[in-house]
Amino acid sequence: MTRAIPATLQTTYANLLQAHLNRPSFEFQGAPFTMVRKGKTYWYANQRSADGTTSRQRYLGPDTDEMRVRIDAMRTQQQNLADFRDHTSSLVAQLRAGGIAGPDRKTGPILRALVNSGVFRLGGTLVGTHAFRHYDLVLGAYLSDNTGWITQTDDIDVASFHALSMAIEDTTDPQIAKALGTLDFKPALTIGKTPPTTWTLADGSYAIDFLTPSFSEEDKPTHIPTLDIWAKRLHFLDYLITEPIHAVSPYMEGLLIQIPQPARYAVHKLIISQRRKDFAEAKRRKDIEQARSLIWAMSEDQPYVLAQAIKDADRRGKKWKAALDQALVLQINPDDPIQPGDSAEFQGIALGGASIRLRISGSALAQIAKEDKDTLLLAKQHRDTIERMFRARFRSNPAASILLTSQDLPTV
């Protein structure tokens, strides 16, 4: 079982997130408005220049139910910046006092620079381990209680869709190059004329990678107009950053960012784990550990969301399905089952050696055997059928504990 974050801290985080969502990322003039670009509708607002002489259209987000609610809240939001920072800083302090970890002193300023430039407002999504660190608060559970090493990294990865960048016609302000330059980041050296997609500190102690989905075999960097940077192409990334969610990083007054949906993050990590080279065993193990912690948390109260994410990946092609087939293999202990109450229990192993509790009810066993006999006897006689059912169930909806009942059996 995943240990839950106390309800008081979950409420504090919910209030912090809502406060940031209700307040626009810049002071706009007039009423927000929609524009249709390439067949899709987006929200914009006008922002006056620093000298007050000109006005510019700034992007707020895609036209969704959530965005329309946010627009209504923005229109009525009267809280000034000082009051907002006092309020949200107090909420962040409550989270930190309650034991919620935030970005370290090196990562925090980097994320803040990206937020203030508008990277996440313009479609950028934080991915990788820094995104994973935010799922504790998103899911209300301590995901890395016993495996803190899976949250350790010195790199920041930001992904963005090239197509969205082309459509919304807005740019970061200040430019990313200028914002990162103030933190002593410079473009990493590359071979030949290949544009840099990584920015590093002079001592090489920290790196920021910019990524974009690849839909072909071409691997040349792609220019992202809204961010005015070059990004590395990666396969499977489009699945990960489709319909990202908002989160707040507990640093200073809080930083409103975008991260992948947790179920998509877990499934993506499972796929990537099977495509790592043999020499990347440590990264493969980290992928699986992160995926497993998310799966265990979501299987308790969001199993259908997790199952849908797996179905979506399976529909994307043979390579996707094959990778998940490998990642979600369930090995069942060959020992005889035991009988806890009116059920038979087996022991399984999956996802990097995690123990899985597998139970089937007596009524389900009787239905499989079409006769009512001793539960353990039926479990032994029909073991092959039961194991196939457990493996199929785990493949479609993995969890640390699985119970098969008569309702789970196919109707004849």
Is residue 244 reached through a cis peptide bond, with omega within 30 degrees of 0 on the bond before it?
A: no
Q: Which residues contact 95 (CB under 8 A, 6 or more apart)?
A: 9, 12, 13, 16, 102, 137, 250
pTM as predicted:
0.88
Is 335 part of any domain?
yes
CA atoms within 13 A on the CB side of 201: 11
CATH number at residue 343: 3.30.160.140
pLDDT by position in tens, the chain (length 412): 678 999 999 999 999 999 998 887 666 667 788 989 888 898 888 877 555 566 778 888 889 888 888 888 777 665 567 788 899 999 999 999 998 988 888 899 999 999 988 899 888 999 999 999 999 999 999 987 655 545 566 689 999 988 776 676 778 887 888 889 999 999 888 787 888 999 998 887 889 999 999 887 777 899 998 888 999 999 889 999 999 999 999 999 999 999 999 999 999 999 999 988 877 788 899 999 999 999 999 998 899 999 999 999 999 999 999 999 999 999 999 999 999 888 999 999 999 999 999 999 999 999 998 888 888 999 999 999 999 999 999 999 999 999 999 888 876 4
* SS3 track for the chain: CCCECCHHHHHHHHHHHHHHHHCCCCCCEEEEEEEEECCEEEEEEEEECCCCCCEEEEEEEECCHHHHHHHHHHHHCCCCHHHHHHHHHHHHHHHHHCCCCCCCCCHHHHHHHHHHHCCCCCCCEEECHHHHCCHHHHHCECCCCCCHHHHCCCEEEEECCHHHHHHHCCCCCCCHHHHHHCCCEEECCCCCCCCCCEEEECCCCCEEEEEEECCCCCCCCEEECCCCEEEEEECCHHHHHCCCEEEEECCCCCEEEEECCHHHHHHHHHHHHCCCCHHHHHHHHHHHHHHHHHHHHHHHHCHHHHHHHHHHHHCCCHHHHHHHHHHCCCEECCCCCECCCCEEEEEEEECCCEEEEEEEEHHHHHHHHCCCCCHHHHHHHCHHHHHHHHHHHHHHCCCCEEEECHHHCCCC
CB 5 within 8 A of CB 140: yes
pLDDT on residue 388 = 95
Is 358 part of any domain?
yes
Is 402 part of any domain?
yes
Alpha carbons 115 and 124: distance in angstroms, whole number: 10
Type of residue found at 390? F
pLDDT on residue 154 = 67
pLDDT on residue 101 = 86
pLDDT on residue 112 = 93
CB 248 within 8 A of CB 17: yes
Is 132 part of any domain?
no
Is 386 part of any domain?
yes
Is 174 part of any domain?
no
Is 377 part of any domain?
yes
Is 239 part of any domain?
no
pLDDT on residue 412 = 44
Alpha carbons 378 and 15: distance in angstroms, whole number: 53
Total count of domains within the chain: 1
Query: For residue 360, what are the domain limits?
Result: 331-408
